[in-house]
Structure 1
Amino acid sequence: MSDYIVRATAYNNKILAIAAFSTQTVQKAKEIHNLTPTTCAALGRTLTSVAMMRVMMKGEKDKVTLVIKGDGPIGNIVAVSNYPGIVKGYVGNPKVDLPLSEKGKLDVGKAVGKNGYVTVIKDIGLKEPYIGTVELQTGEIGEDIAYYFYASEQVPSAVGVGVLVGKEGNVLASGGFIIELLPNIEEKIVAKLEEALRNISSVTELLRNGYLPEDILNHILGGMGLNILERVDLRYECDCSQERFETAIIALGKEEIEKLISEGQSVEAVCHFCGKKYLIEESRLKELLRIAEE
C-alpha cells in the first residue's frame, strides 16, 4: 500500500485532524542513510511529523523545516517538506543504536536527549520565514512537537508518531496524527477528546493492528462528526541538483571562487538528504566565476 496523509475536521470544524501512513517513506530513508533501528525510529517520526505539518499549511509554495537538536548521541535531526506529501531528511549520527528502553521499546528519547530544542521554520512567501524555537521536553519527538504548537503557536494540540521496526531492521509500519483544537471549542468536547487520547496505548500499537490514517482518526474522533477533506500521497524525494549546487557556489562570491580555482582542485559536494555526489571541475569553476562577476 502506498503512503498517504489525510486532512480532516471534526465537531463543526473546531477540530483540525491530520493522520499519516508513512511506511514506505521511512523505509526509503532507512535505506538511503543506512539507519539503525533507533535512528530509523527517530528520523521516521520526524519525517512523518514534518509531512503532516506541511499538509496543514495553505499555500502551494509553502515550505516547512523541522530541526530537533538534543544532547543525545544522535545529534541533529533535520526534516524538510517543500511540497505537500514530499519529504526528505537526515540525522547527524545515523549509526547510533541503543538497547531497548525499560518498556521494551526503541529508546528514541535517550538517543535524542532532553536538553536541546525544537525549531520549526515556515516559509510562506514573506520577506522572512517564521522561525519558532522551544526547548525539548522528552526527546520522544511527538510530545516535543505538541509542546511546540502550544508554546510557540499557542495552539493546543495532541501529536502521536510511531515507527515499527522489524527484527531484520526493516520498517514494518510508520505513521502518526496531529489533532489541533481551534478557538472557542467547548470544554465538554475537550474533555471527550482527552479521554479518547488517554485510551490510545501508542501509535505503534495502532499501526501494528493495521490501522490506516482514516482508522486512526475515527478511533480518536469517532462520534464527533469527522469529515475527511483531503488525501495526499506521501513519498521521500530529494530535489537536489547540479544547478542548485552551482548556484550555491556562485553565492560564495568572486573572492571565494577565485580561491577555489587557485587551489587547482575540483569541488565535490554530497547531499545530506540523499547522498548524491556533485562534482565541479576547474573549467566549470571559471565559468561560474564569470557569472559571479556579472
Structure 2
Amino acid sequence: MEDYIVRATAAGGQMRAFAATTKNLVESARVHHNTSPVATAALGRTLTAGAIMGSMMKNDTDMLTLQIRGDGPIEGITVTADSHANVKGYVGNPDVMLPPKNGKLDVGGAVGIGLLQVIKDMGLKEPYVGQTILVSSEIAEDLTYYFASSEQVPSSVGLGVLMNKDNTVRCAGGFIIQLMPFATEETISQLEENLKDVTSVTDFLDKGYTPEQMLEKLIGHLDLEITDTIPTQFYCNCSKERVEQAVASIGKKDIQEMIDEGKDIEVKCHFCNTAYNYTVEDLKNILKRSKK
C-alpha cells in the first residue's frame, strides 16, 4: 500500500481529523540512517506526525519543523515537512539500543526528559515557535499536550511503528483528531467515550486497517466526512550545490586549511545521510566564490 494521509471532518464540522499510513516512508528513513529498532520507532512516529502536521499548513512554501530535545541516549530528533507532506528527519544517535519496556520498544527511555519545539515557517518576518515540555517522551502524548497548551486546540494524537523480527518496518501510521472551538459538550464526550477503547495505532494497522477505516472506527458514528487524501513520502531536497553552501559557511580560513592538506572531503546531509564528495579543486572553487 502506498503511503497517504486522509483529511476529514465530523460532527458537522465540529472536529477535523487526519489519519495516515506511513510504512514506506518510515522504512525509507530506516534504510537511509540505518537506525536501530527503538530509533526507527522514535523517528518514525515523529516523521508521521510531521507529515500530518505539514499537510495542515496552507501555502506551498510553508515549512514545519519538529524538534525533540531530550536527555536520553537518542540525543534528539529533528523532522521537517512541507505542506505537501514531503517529510525528512534524523536522530542524533541512530544506533541507540535499549531493553524493551512492558514488551514494547522503549521510545520514552530513548528520548528522555526535555522539550518539544514546533517551528512553523509561513513566510512571515519571524517563524512561529511553540515549545512545551515532554510529558511522556512517547511523542503522541507530547503532541497532544503541545496542541492543548501552545495552540489551545484540544486534540487526540495516536502514532505507532511496528517492527518485523528482521528490524524492517512492518507497519507505521497515526491519527490526529482536533476539536473546533464551537464543539458541543455532547460531541466532546462522545469522542472521549470512543477513544477510550483505542489500544494502539499499530493494532489497527497490523489488522490491515486503512486510514479511512481507522477514522471510521474512531469517529465514524459522528457523521465522518472524508474531504481528501494526499500522498506522503520521505523526501530530501539536498543536492551537491546546497551542501556546498554549508561547506562555504565554515569560513575561508578552514577551507584554505583543507586545501593545504590536499585531501578530498566528504560531507553528509543530516536529513538523508547522502554523502557528497568535494575534491581539492571543488574546495578551491568554493573559496573563490566565497571571496566574491
Alignment TM-score > 0.5, same fold: yes
| Unaligned 5+ runs, structure 2 | none
Q: Which residues in structure 2 correspond to 1:1-294 (within 5 Å)?
A: 1-102=1-102, 104-113=103-112, 115-294=113-292
Stretch of structure 1 that moved more, 258-267 or 67-76: 258-267
**Count of residues in Structure 1 that have an aligned counterpart in Structure 2:** 292
Residue by residue over 1:194-224, the C-alpha shift from the partner in whole angstroms, topping out at 9 and shown as x without a partner, is 1111111111111122111111111111122
| Unaligned 5+ runs, structure 1 | none
Give the Å deviation of 1:249: 3.0
Distance in 2, matches of 1:267 and 1:14, equals 55
The residue type paired with residue 52 of structure 2 is: M
For 2:221, what is the secondary structure of its paired residue? coil
Residue by residue over 1:73-115, the C-alpha shift from the partner in whole angstroms, topping out at 9 and shown as x without a partner, is 111111111351211111111112222212x2111111111x2
For 1:8, what is the secondary structure of its paired residue? strand
Distance in 2, matches of 1:107 and 1:250, equals 40
The residue type paired with residue 156 of structure 2 is: A
Give the Å deviation of 1:261: 3.8
Distance in 2, matches of 1:50 and 1:18, equals 12
Q: CA distance change for structure 1 residues 83 and 279 in 2, over 3 Å: closer, same or farther?
A: farther
Give the Å deviation of 1:292: 2.2
Distance in 2, matches of 1:41 and 1:284, equals 38
Residue by residue over 1:154-199, the C-alpha shift from the partner in whole angstroms, topping out at 9 and shown as x without a partner, is 1111100011112221211111000111112111111111111111
Residue by residue over 1:120-149, the C-alpha shift from the partner in whole angstroms, topping out at 9 and shown as x without a partner, is 111111122111111110011000011111
For 1:58, what is the secondary structure of its paired residue? coil
Distance in 1, matches of 2:76 and 2:270, equals 12
Q: Is the 8 A contact 2:69 2:116 kept in 1?
A: yes
Q: Is the 8 A contact 2:59 2:83 kept in 1?
A: no
> TM-score when scaled to structure 1?
0.93
Give the Å deviation of 1:284: 2.3
The residue type paired with residue 81 of structure 1 is: A
> TM-score when scaled to structure 2?
0.94
Distance in 2, matches of 1:157 and 1:228, equals 18
The residue type paired with residue 105 of structure 1 is: K
Give the Å deviation of 1:248: 2.4
Aligned-residue sequence identity (percent) comes to 48
Distance in 2, matches of 1:253 and 1:167, equals 46
The residue type paired with residue 2 of structure 2 is: S
